[in-house]
Amino acid sequence: MDHKWFYICVALMLAILGSPVRANEAAQEDEPKQADGMGEFCYRTILNAEKMKKEMAVKDRQIVQLQYDIEKLILGKADNHWKDELLQSYRYTINTQNATITELNNRIVDLKIVNQIAINFETIRGDLGRLSYLDDQQFNDSVKFQLAKVVKLESDVETITIKLRECQNLTTDTTIKEIERKIVADELLETQSRLSECNTKLDNQRKATRCSSFGYENGIHEIQFPGMSPISVLCNGEIAGPGWIVIHQRSIGDVDFFKTWSEYKDGFGNMDGDFFIGLEKLYRITNYEPYELYVQLEKFDGSFMYARYDDFVIGNESEKYALKSLGKMTGTAGDWLRNQENMKFSTLDQDNDDWTDGDCANKYQGGWWYKEISGSNLNGKLLKEEQESDQAMHWGESIALKAAKMLIRAKN
Ligand SMILES: [Ca+2]
């Protein structure tokens, strides 16, 4: 190749490499053709140059794309940063606004209070203003009117207070009345209870016309006999079976039996010790219904004997409480009252015996249905030891007895 084409080829290469646009534009054209007179080397060089030009164009586009991507990435990062800052800014603004809103709210509240005060103040000022327009007379009238209202209110309050007190008093009175009523009711109940109890006792007493109501129990009981107030009697159920009334009892010697008519009529002594029931009671009891008599005697040797009469009746006082009947006698002690049957009772102050020349009661130192001589003398002296004596408490023989009891019982 000659120097002329060599230089032309180098110049073309430089031209192609030095101008990418032109090379790019050239790349759009067909592959160069080998010109006449152009050497093979030059042609190949130009061909390679063309290829390189195309590749470089591709690279250029890739670089541009990369730059674009890089810029895009950088720009994206910047965007995020800006957003953070903006968000931060917004937050600050929001916080600031919140604070402002709170402050404003506080101010609104304050303003409302102030406004209310102002309104009140305006009202007061208005009132003052209206007052200032009043002349003296109007002012006085206004004051009087207000005072009248105050007086009326005070009156109302007083009225209400009085009514309230009345209500309280009414309540108290009602309470007291209720309490009184309750007390009365309680007392009534208690009284009714006592009355019921009394009625029960009374019924029992009414029913108890004899000691048999109390069985074998020994003791003092109230007995109701017809025509008589209830009387206390000593019942005995252990000597001769249930239902006996003890009318005479001697064993202690604490009571003197040498007594007057009146004392024998009414009775004397104590049922816990020595006693006599009384002739009047005996008369009434034995005339109500048939009675029997049981006489228990104790000797000083501790032995007992008895005499039982099945029809024991006593006359009234006008009959001198005569021993009107004895009935049939049974027992171990002997019929030593038979001698006294139909005899009147005699006492130290009443001689009703058959002894015309003398006074048996005083002779035998007791009160009894004496005749002339003593067959029995259970109201004579209670001696401390066994001895023979007409004046001693004795039955048949004039031998002192240690103790004696007389009991009666309704036969039916
Ligand atoms: Ca006489």
**267 and 155 assigned to the same domain:** no
**329-331 vs 376-377, strand pairing mode:** unpaired
**245 and 389 assigned to the same domain:** yes
**185 and 327 assigned to the same domain:** no
CB 231 within 8 A of CB 217: no
Number of domains in the chain: 3
CA distances from residue 197 to 191, 193, 194, 221 in whole angstroms, order as listed: 10, 6, 5, 17
**392 and 299 assigned to the same domain:** yes
Q: What is the pLDDT of residues 128-185, one digit of tens each?
A: 666 556 566 776 777 677 777 777 777 777 777 777 777 666 666 677 777 778 878 8
**217 and 156 assigned to the same domain:** no
Q: Which of 188, 207, 226 is the last residue of a domain?
A: 207
**Two tokens, residue 118:** 């102002």
Q: Tell me, yes or no, if the pTM score tops 0.85.
A: no
Q: How far is the CA of 260 from the centre of ligand 1 (A)?
A: 15
Segment 245-252 mean pLDDT: 97
Q: How far is the CA of 358 from the centre of ligand 1 (A)?
A: 5
122 part of a folded domain: no
Own/partner pairs, 225-233, CB within 8 angstroms, 24+ separation? 225/284, 225/285, 225/288, 226/288, 227/284, 227/288, 228/281, 228/284, 230/205, 231/281, 232/271, 233/271, 233/277
> How many Cβ atoms are within 10 Å of 162's Cβ, its own excluded?
10
Q: What is the pLDDT of residues 17-71, one digit of tens each?
A: 544 444 444 444 455 666 665 667 667 767 777 777 787 788 778 778 877 777 7
Q: How far is the CA of 347 from the centre of ligand 1 (A)?
A: 10
**383 and 244 assigned to the same domain:** yes
What integer pLDDT is reported at residue 98 of this predicted model? 75
Cα–Cα distance for residue pair 53/61, rounded to 1 Å: 12
**Two tokens, residue 178:** 């209720």
Given CA atoms 107, 113, 115, 118 in this order, what sign does their dihedral have? negative
316 part of a folded domain: yes
Q: How far is the CA of 351 from the centre of ligand 1 (A)?
A: 5
**91 and 173 assigned to the same domain:** no
Q: What is the pLDDT of residues 92-111, one digit of tens each?
A: 777 777 777 777 677 667 66
**Structural domain that includes position 21:** 3-98
What integer pLDDT is reported at residue 350 of this predicted model? 97
What integer pLDDT is reported at residue 304 of this predicted model? 98
43 part of a folded domain: yes
**168 and 302 assigned to the same domain:** no
**218 and 358 assigned to the same domain:** yes
> How many Cβ atoms are within 10 Å of 249's Cβ, its own excluded?
24
Q: How far is the CA of 303 from the centre of ligand 1 (A)?
A: 34
pLDDT band at 291 (very low <50, low <70, confident <90, very high): very high
> How many Cβ atoms are within 10 Å of 325's Cβ, its own excluded?
18
Q: How far is the CA of 350 from the centre of ligand 1 (A)?
A: 9
Q: How far is the CA of 382 from the centre of ligand 1 (A)?
A: 23
More confident residue, 355 or 136: 355
Q: How far is the CA of 370 from the centre of ligand 1 (A)?
A: 9
